[in-house]
Structure 1
Amino acid sequence: MKARDYLGQAFRLDQRINSKIEQVRSLNDLAAKCTSTITGMPGNPNRGKDSIGDTIAKIVDLQEEINRDIDALVDLKAEIYSVIRAIDNVECQTLLELRYLSFMRWEEIAVQLNYGMENIYRLHRKALNLVSIPS
């Protein structure tokens, strides 16, 4: 695995968590739309589905999955942080932290570090070469 791929794992996991959170939001909206119709007519005996109950079960399962992913993200960020901290160059550390732990865009990093874009890309290449990926 290359340094860029290793460091980028946290961003991809964060994106998956955000996607699942959006799915929960969508399921909550769906659950709010589910209504019961109460009539004097007997229900269809072949209709064995409880749509509200099914939706709530899916929401709970997805929320548990999100919590596991968040735990994994926290652990992964801690591991990436220690890998970045092992680099002797403070500028490289800062750039890698901003990019791979704070998920900042290149333009934002350039402004924060007061560098031009070419210097940011050069520093990034240098920083990636200094990363020692744990086995």
Structure 2
Amino acid sequence: MNAKEYLSQAIWLDQMIDSKLEQLATLKSLSMKVTTSFTQEKISGGSFEKSRMENTIVKVIDLEHEINADIDRLVELKKDIQETINKIDDLNYQLLLEMRYLCGKNWEEIALAMGYDRSTVFRIHGKAIKEVKKIKDATKCD
């Protein structure tokens, strides 16, 4: 995994969590539309068919657990990335990397916040990525 892929993990995981949160909202909305059958259910031989409502609730709970696990992974990943960024001496590099990979800002937002044009931001980003690569390579050797 190269330096850019390493840093981008947090962005992708954050987007995946957002997607799952949207799925959860849809599933919860659908669960409100599920109607309970008031007809007597037949129970024979100890087998019981779960209701649609129960199935939906189980799916909601499972997805909530999955999202919580992803959030825990994201917090740990961001902590690791932050520690790597903090090892860089240049504060401009640190700021740019934090805004891009920890805050998920786009290039226009970063350029505006830092007071640079996009090409300067890209140049700084390239240099910052090289610093991250040096740090990651040094960590591998330890």
Normalised TM-score (structure 2): 0.87
Give how far 1:23 is off: 1.1
Tell me which residue corresponds to 2:49. Answer: 48
Cα deviations by residue, 1:50-79 (Å, 9 ceiling, x for unpaired): 110001001001101111110110000000
Cα deviations by residue, 1:71-109 (Å, 9 ceiling, x for unpaired): 110000000000000001100000000000000000000
Tell me which residue corresponds to 2:131. Answer: 130
Gaps of 5+ in 1: none
CA distance in 2, matches of 1:118, 1:20: 35
Corresponding pairs, count: 133
AA in 2 matched with 1:8: S
Name segments (4+ residues, structure 1) moved above 3 Å.
42-47
Q: Percent identity?
A: 43
CA distance in 2, matches of 1:26, 1:78: 31
Tell me which residue corresponds to 1:76. Answer: 77
Whether the aligned pair in 1 keeps the contact of 2:96 and 2:110 (CA below 8 Å) is yes
Normalised TM-score (structure 1): 0.92
Tell me which residue corresponds to 2:110. Answer: 109
